[in-house]
Structure 1
């Protein structure tokens, strides 16, 4: 298969240019609102609006029904992001390889969100949510490729920290919006769709990419396309261990937090007041997120180390899982929110930079990032079903936390064998 000449040329240019050019600074600043607008949808929809919509159709079976909807959506998302990455790697346009998918995905996803607001059955909700997941993963795959495409290695920790900050701020803003519009779900979907489309379009306009029309297009092969989900762990062991670490920690995190609304309703005992309290807990979390994200990314650049931060983040998330197990109260959930925010914020800030340094091929950045991002989306597929099964079998939410603790610790252990990154 022929390859583009871009990666080697880009590698030379990366070594020659200053660490922080004006364009790089604009990208570092712009990734915050771009990620925030996208992940506000995740925070609002998966955290509040979708669970309320599902609960409104069949309150008695809300846990099982939410597991079905979110599992199907996340399974499709897992497939969509590597596909989007592969297509964007091969795209040749005057706007570059990534921009058409970022803007187009935001438009299609926004229309799907608007349609989701009018859904009145579980089947309709599932179809609309699948469309939303596909569209916004066509945004996220190419958007994540900006890091290895255009950010010098020496400042990737800083960029990764700002990207993670955008994710967390977006999730929190989504929770606030979702709680405030809990009585008007359709309006919430329209607002989220509009904000995401405008923000992502501005990001592309203000950060134009180099045209890709002169790049050689790799030869297309059906066999290569079908193999795009596979990266040989023997040939690329560091990539495989980084994938495993992300998969384990994300699974542990989502096993515990994927049912946050229902946990607050039934386990913590807030009942009908749970939806209104989610932004309160989110506001508490944002303090920990800001501290860990802003400090960890640049600090990892300064000391030239990534793995120690992943160890610390996984340990913090693991400790956080103990708190609601022994203290199933509002106070316990406050402590849980702070500790998990410190740990997950640190992980978000550093893990993306670590992964960008173990990618197998410079010619397929977006595809490879799409593959490794399966480690973030697959837990969303597995966690609701696994968590629902745990709740049903053990008759309560308490059993979720030991499982989450174990997975978080294993996530820390998995980065130890990585050799290319300190």
Structure 2
């Protein structure tokens, strides 16, 4: 059988290239792929915004109001720990996937379908144990979809367009997170219905992405023999051999930790720290305010980083913005103060999302393991979500909600300085 030249080019790229090299042109072109990344990421991150930040804490609080902080810390931490392993495992599997649909599409579809079914199960969960199991399955399954999806950039996008690509990806991410919060606030009176709506929406968006953005077949991919030791190495990238990878990972971990230590407890902060009686009436407004900051910085930062060929100054600035924002609720513990914090932190986090993804794609060691390595990189996003609830819960129980903000500030500033040693990108 004769293999088409385009597929041969793709197979050669997988065998020989690294993250700072241009891949073959996508089947339907780069432009279509760029714009489809918004709904694709929306399909996953609307889950994280609605499920993790609004519906799940509300469901846990309704089950046992007196122990809501501790119970939510347990549920979210266990789920996030499973998610830590899901992305590298999914990445390893998709890197080795031989199929007519390519390496990534099958796992994106499988993860979204299992995640949707888990959301339906969560809609009918009525005990702490059933909520714990269903919520863990949701986080695990959607991370199985997110890992291969994140490899689309180094797989298909030229280096000089990755800032713009990351900006559009960031728009999908943050519109998903904030849109999810707004959508979830509508369903606070009917949490089960909210879960079902999210399940349908996610499956539809991710399926449409796969259909309209086909990848080259990987049926002829030559695989190295599987070794269990290599599988264990999935969770480790040598910081001595790949220092840029290490510093990029560290910077993302610290900034995400600073951000999620505070925002992960927004619902409880609104009710218990700011005294908001009806948070459902406030969350949509906060989502719009944050989205405004995110869109402004994302639209500007991604293309500018492509134009100047520089990523690190934008990441440094984003960390500073988040740190400044978290100072505001300490000094002004009111709803207007929280709204100002929301806008500034959104501006900073949008700048980060627009540029950090492009930076990460340039420090990947090999095209053979893009998804696996990005799965490890994405631990930098899921690890803070795993640790933040436990740490934040202990801080709240010991010092009150005001204790969260200094921790978030310090972590964000450390995240800014972590990107300074990176050499693969300026």
Band of TM-score, shorter chain: over 0.9
Partner residue, 2:267: 261
Partner residue, 1:281: 286
Q: CA RMSD in A?
A: 1.7
- Which among 145, 148, 153 is matched to residue 151 of structure 2? 145
- 1:413 aligned to 2:420? no
State how 1:4-403 maps to structure 2 within 5 Å: 5-7=12-14, 15=22, 23-271=29-277, 273-394=278-399, 396-403=400-407
Distance in 1 (CA, whole Å) between partners of 2:109 and 2:23 is: 31
TM-score of the aligned structures, taking structure 2 as reference length: 0.95
Asked if structure 1 preserves the Cα contact closer than 8 Å seen for 2:18 and 2:364, the reply is no
What's the CA shift for 1:9?
6.2
CA deviations over 1:356-385 (Å, ceiling 9, x no partner): 001122210000000010000000010000
CA deviations over 1:281-324 (Å, ceiling 9, x no partner): 01111110000111101110000000000010000000001000
TM-score of the aligned structures, taking structure 1 as reference length: 0.96
Gaps of 5+ in 2: 1-10
What's the CA shift for 1:21?
9.0
What's the CA shift for 1:101?
0.6
* 3-state DSSP of counterpart to 1:398: helix
Evaluate the alpha carbon distance shift between residue 374 and residue 11 of structure 1 in structure 2; reply closer, same or farther with a 3 A threshold: closer
What's the CA shift for 1:276?
2.4
Distance in 2 (CA, whole Å) between partners of 1:419 and 1:206 is: 36
Evaluate the alpha carbon distance shift between residue 11 and residue 387 of structure 1 in structure 2; reply closer, same or farther with a 3 A threshold: closer
* 3-state DSSP of counterpart to 1:226: helix
Asked if structure 1 preserves the Cα contact closer than 8 Å seen for 2:44 and 2:202, the reply is yes
What's the CA shift for 1:15?
4.9
What's the CA shift for 1:338?
0.7
What's the CA shift for 1:7?
2.7
Distance in 2 (CA, whole Å) between partners of 1:197 and 1:140 is: 13
Distance in 2 (CA, whole Å) between partners of 1:154 and 1:26 is: 16
CA deviations over 1:93-141 (Å, ceiling 9, x no partner): 0110000011111111100000000000111001001111111011000
| Count of aligned residue pairs for this structure pair | 416
Distance in 2 (CA, whole Å) between partners of 1:279 and 1:64 is: 26
Asked if structure 2 preserves the Cα contact closer than 8 Å seen for 1:6 and 1:215, the reply is no
CA deviations over 1:34-84 (Å, ceiling 9, x no partner): 111211111111121111100111000100000000000000001100000
